[in-house]
Amino acid sequence: MDERTRAEVERAEAAIVEHYPRLVRLTYLVLPPSMGRHRRVLTAHRLVQRALPRTRLRRPDGGLPAQRGPAAESGYDEVRLRALRPALAHEGGPGRGVAVMPLVWGLRLFPRAGGADELALDQALSVVPAPVRAALGLWHLEGLDEDAARSVLSRAGVEDPDAAQRAAAQLDRETGAGAATLLNSAEFDPCTVQTRPTDLLRRRQRVRAVAALAAVLVVGAVAAGALRGDGERVRPPETTAEQALDPGRLVRTPNEQWTDTSRVDFTAWPARGRQAGDRELLARALRVWAAPPADARITAAVGASTRPPDHPPQLLYAGLIDNVLVVVLHDGERLVRYAEPEDATPTLHFARVDGADLTTAAALVIGRGNGWMRYLLAPWISDIATRDLLAPAAPVHGLHVAPDGVTDRIPTPPEEGAGCGRWPVAQFRTSTRIGPSGQVPPFLVADLDDLVPVHLTYLPPPSGGAPAAGPGEATGAPALASWARTACSLGSLRGAGVRSVNNWAFAGQRLPEDGGSATWVCTRADTWRGPGSVTLRFLPPAARPADPGQLAGRAANTAACSRFGSPVVGGVHWQAKSGKWYLLAAGSQGVGGLDATGGVRATGHGNTLAAPAGRDAPAEVAGRLADGGSVHALRP
């Protein structure tokens, strides 16, 4: 008989209790799909619960000590083998005469349904032998290499482990190397089940409400875990919070999902990085997120919550970046970057990213140092280059990207107060698998000390009386010329949780005394949480491409200069070459006239106004609208 000492049985029992969901998932995978999901769920639980060896109370051979031999295998290895053997034997038909335990009456149990990828994998698994399914499970669920998996298969009674592994490798290739992620999904989790009734009329004739109640209680025991050896206590079910901290439940998106989805955002990112399979690292990251230690450094963008995870998040990256272990997680609303620097003080960085899209989910900051940073790129970014916004005519410089999507170091903009001699930004180009070449133009992003870079756009002035359909990418010559003159103002937006910044050239104006043409620009910064801020600038002709012009107005928490805002008006005092001062004002489309009052009184019948005025003459400027309303100029 297969018996063990009391200590060995206790170790095996502890292994079953600790790794119960893992063992049941492996056993469920190996069992024949032809059994049906309900029977597979119950049988998987039964086989794992029956994997506990029996106890031997006395030593054999008159009580003499056993001879020395190879070191005993761990309790987990033994119970895994004891569950795997009968699961493999079910391929030829389950044994009879063994009571099914746990027993469920009146309900059908089955794991949660997955998507098309999970269904395709389940169909592929249904046509291969049990040893092939076992090999896949030992690789992707147990994390064993081929040699270790071969040993387990051989000891479990598989006649040709090598052939089973070759067939498993072929199936793995056919599924696009995404089997590891899919096998860890809810589709193959017999511990998280749904219930449906059986034939209600027939069941009502046979059993009454008490049977249904008993069935519900048994289902709770199935989902909770294994019965103790004495049959008196049951492992309590995992709470939602406990599930959120289980690295085995992390969501892992298949590598190629971004090519076949209408939702191109962080949910389409696959899990990358050499430590993506390091359960200990992932568990530490989740624990620190849930309960940060007292010495943890926590940074949160404005509007980003630091609350613990309330469901298993998605893994985006786990790896070593410049001698710092980094894990990036996504919970559908936030990005969380966990880092273990050399001083072992954990760091958490939170950023809000709900509503991200192809451009705003194109990259995140994976590492940062003194004067440099690195991006982790979305899988749909095919090319990255850097450029200096203050040098619009300078060519871009290509940047190397590692196979896991991490870029080389990129210079960061100067710190506040350190001058503004350069402003490096990144220029991204998307893969043609997202859309035909030219359909998605290159776009610019800027690092503003948040976890996610800021998308820079440009809206040209109305052409022929018709406004542009909306902001476009800031990579054309007019856009780059506009951004060269406003780039240094981006410094005031650092750490503010900004999602995108748009330069809108809302008006052009001929200057008095043949002073040339000026442009009025409204720079609007939109945050992830919703509110935006605007800065109006007056840009006269300049000797240098990066001349910042003159501040004309500011406003916070406003809809101005957005598609939801009303027309905008700005005014400044300007000195001509002759030394004479003027009040200049301009309004966006929809402004049919301008009026200046106070220290300067003047009226214009278009959307621009120029009137002689003292250098410091106070003036109030308002624009007249076609509907009879008015809009006042923003103040600096």
For residue 189, the model assigns a pLDDT of: 83
Q: Are residues 18 and 45 located together in one domain of the fold?
A: yes
Q: Contact 363/315 with Cβ under 8 angstroms?
A: no
Of residues 37 and 30, the one with the higher pLDDT is 30
The single-letter DSSP state of residue 595 is E
Q: Are residues 116 and 218 located together in one domain of the fold?
A: yes
Last residue of a domain, one of 356, 388, 408: 356
Q: Are residues 212 and 252 located together in one domain of the fold?
A: no
Residue 512 located in a structural domain: no
For the stretch 59-86, pLDDT in tens is 444 443 433 333 345 688 888 999 999 9
Q: Are residues 235 and 124 located together in one domain of the fold?
A: yes
Per-residue pLDDT, averaged over 539-546, amounts to 91
SS3 149: helix
pLDDT band, very low/low/confident/very high, at 237 (cuts 50, 70, 90): low
For residue 18, the model assigns a pLDDT of: 80
Q: Are residues 33 and 46 located together in one domain of the fold?
A: yes
Dist. CA 341–CA 325, nearest whole Å:
7
Amino acid identity for residue 606 in this structure? G
The dihedral sign for the CA sequence 73, 79, 83, 84: negative
Residue 499 located in a structural domain: no
Q: Are residues 226 and 286 located together in one domain of the fold?
A: no
- Domain carrying residue 598: 566-636
For residue 93, the model assigns a pLDDT of: 55
Residue 584 located in a structural domain: yes
Of residues 416 and 287, the one with the higher pLDDT is 287
For the stretch 299-346, pLDDT in tens is 999 889 999 998 999 999 999 999 999 999 999 999 999 999 877 789
Structure tokens at 490: 């981006």
For residue 524, what is the enclosing H or E element? strand 517-527
Q: Are residues 136 and 205 located together in one domain of the fold?
A: yes
Q: How many beta carbons lie within 10 A of that of residue 431, not counting itself?
A: 16
Q: Are residues 339 and 267 located together in one domain of the fold?
A: yes
Last residue of a domain, one of 319, 335, 356: 356
Lowest mean pLDDT among 156-165, 397-406, 445-454, 507-516: 156-165
Q: Contact 576/582 with Cβ under 8 angstroms?
A: yes
Q: Are residues 215 and 256 located together in one domain of the fold?
A: no
Last residue of a domain, one of 219, 244, 269: 244
The single-letter DSSP state of residue 419 is -
pLDDT at 372 over 70: yes
Q: Are residues 329 and 312 located together in one domain of the fold?
A: yes
Structure tokens at 163: 């052939």
Cα angle 580, 594, 550 (rounded to 5 degrees) comes to: 50
Residue 527 located in a structural domain: no
DSSP E strands: which ranges in 370-516? Answer: 372-377, 381-388, 397-398, 410-411, 424-430, 443-446, 454-459, 472-473, 498-510
SS3 151: helix
Q: Are residues 165 and 286 located together in one domain of the fold?
A: no
Dist. CA 593–CA 179, nearest whole Å:
66
Residue 510 located in a structural domain: no
Q: Are residues 8 and 88 located together in one domain of the fold?
A: yes
Question: If we measure between CA atoms, which residue out of 212, 327, 222 comes closest to residue 276?
Answer: 327
Burial group, residue 504, by CB count within 10 angstroms (0-12, 13-18, 19+): buried
Residue 363 located in a structural domain: no
pLDDT band, very low/low/confident/very high, at 217 (cuts 50, 70, 90): very low
For the stretch 176-189, pLDDT in tens is 656 777 888 877 88
Dist. CA 20–CA 24, nearest whole Å:
6
Domain count, the chain: 3
Residue 54 located in a structural domain: yes
Residue 437 located in a structural domain: no
